[in-house]
Chain A
Amino acid sequence: MSVGLVIVSHSAKVAEGVVEMAGQMAGGVRIQAAGGTDDGGIGTDPTLIAEAIAAADEGDGVLVLVDLGSAVLSARVAIEELVGEEARDRVWIAEAPVVEGAVVAAIQASTGSSLEEVADAARGAATMAKVTTPEE
C-alpha cells in the first residue's frame, strides 16, 4: 500500500505525460491522470478528477497535483462535493509544481511514506534549484 497520486492539468496530454514520467521513477504507486475536459478540450473537470482520486486511493491517502487556475478550483470541488465523505480527509492538494512535484512525490510514496511526508516532499520540489550552484 502507498499514497496515490492524481495529476490534474488543463491538458490531457500533459497529465498523461506526467503520469508516464513519474511512473517511470516509482513502481508500485497508483498514479492517475485527470487532464482536460470530458469532451477532450482544454480545461479541468471535477468529475474526472473525482474518478481519478477514487482509482488512486488505496486507503493511505491521495495527493493531488494541479497545474494552475481552475485546476485548483476543480480539484477543490471534486474533493468537497464528489469524493465520498469517509475518504475526503485523506485527499490533499499539493502546494507544488506539477511535473517536479509529481516525480518527487511518486518516489517518496514508493517508500511507503505517509501522506504528510509525500506532501512535504512535493512542496520541497517548488524550490528545487536547477541552474544555480548551491552555496557552500
Chain B
Amino acid sequence: MATAVAVPWGRLVPGPRQEAARNVDAACVRRWLEEVAARLAAERDFLTQLDAAIGDADHGVNMHRGFTAVMQRVADLQEPTPGRLLKVAGRTFVSTVGGAAGPLYGTAFLQAGEALGDHPSFGPRLLGDALRASLEGVQRVGAASVGDKTMVDALTPALGAYELELRMGGSLETAASGAREAAASGMRATIPLQARKGRASYLGPRSVGHQDPGATSTALMFAALEQAVLADRSQRFAAGARRPVSGP
C-alpha cells in the first residue's frame, strides 16, 4: 500500500540504479550502532529529563535499555549483512522496549534493514531509500505528521536534507552531515509546538515550550550516523583506499 509522506523534496529521480560505488558495509553499520549506544548511554538522563516534562519520564531509560540489548544481540552475529544487522536491531528493540519508542524505532530499523536487502555493502542512494523506508514505517505505525511534536519532526527534514544533498551532487559524507544538521534543527523546532501525538498530547497547551524527547533521540542517531560515516572514510584513507566515498 502506498503511503503519502510529506517530504518537501519528493523522491529522487528514478533511473538505472548504479551500485558500483559500494561504500557502506556491515562494519560501518556496526560502528553506527555502537556510536548510537554510546551516545544514548551519555544522554540517558537528559532524554529522561525531557520526557519527565511532557511524558512519562522513561525515554532515556527505555532507549538505553533497548540499545544495550541490541548491542548484545548484534555482537553474536557472524558476518552479518548490513540489512540483517538492522533487522536484528529492530526486532530486539520491538521486544525489549515497552513504551512507544519500541514499536516506532523497532519499525524504523526493521524497514531500513528490509530496504537494504542482502547487499553486503551499499551506496548513498540505497541508504537514502532505507531512511525513507524508515520514515514511511514510522508514519504507518505512529500516524504522525510533521508538526505533531514527535520523532517525525527530526526524521522528515533529515531525510529531505540527505536526498537534496545527493541530488546536488554531494557525497555520502556531506549528505550525512546535512541530515544531522536538519535533524537537529527539526528537533529544536519542536520546542514551541503543541503535541498532537503520544502522551504529551494529553497535556494540550502545557506541552508547549518543551523539546520533544523522541525528536531528540532521532537527532542523536543522525549525529551518530555522520560520525560513523566520517570514521569510515578516515579508516579507508588510513588503509590506503584510493576510491573516494561518493557516487550513487
- Is chain B found bound to chain A in the same assembly? yes
| Chain A residues engaging chain B, CB cutoff 8 angstroms | 10, 36-38, 41-47, 69-70, 73-74, 76-77, 80-81
One digit per residue, 1 when the CB lies within 8 angstroms of any chain A CB and 0 when it does not, for chain B 193-206 equals 00000110000000
Chain A residues within 8 Å of B106, by CB: 46, 77
CB distance from A44 to the nearest CB of B (A): 6
Q: When chains A and B are docked, how far (Å) is the Cα of A42 from the Cα of B56? A: 11
Within 8 A of A (CB), among B39-58: none
Within 8 A of A (CB), among B131-147: 140-142
Partner of A38, one of B95, B103, B142, B198: B95
Partner of A73, one of B95, B103, B110: B103
| Number of CB contacts from chain A to chain B under 8 A | 52
- The yes or no answer to B219 lying at the interface (CB within 8 A) is no
One digit per residue, 1 when the CB lies within 8 angstroms of any chain A CB and 0 when it does not, for chain B 97-113 equals 11110111011001000
User: Are B141's CB and A45's CB within 8 A?
Assistant: no
Indicate whether A69 sits within 8 Å of B199 (C-beta atoms), given known contacts A46-B103, A77-B103, A80-B141: yes
Indicate whether A45 sits within 8 Å of B140 (C-beta atoms), given known contacts A69-B198, A81-B107: no
- The yes or no answer to B94 lying at the interface (CB within 8 A) is yes
Partner of B103, one of A10, A37, A76: A76
Q: When chains A and B are docked, how far (Å) is the Cα of A36 from the Cα of B94? A: 14
Chain A residues within 8 Å of B100, by CB: 69-70, 73
Question: Which residue on chain A has the smallest CB distance to residue B137?
Answer: A80
Indicate whether A44 sits within 8 Å of B98 (C-beta atoms), given known contacts A69-B198, A76-B103, A81-B107: yes
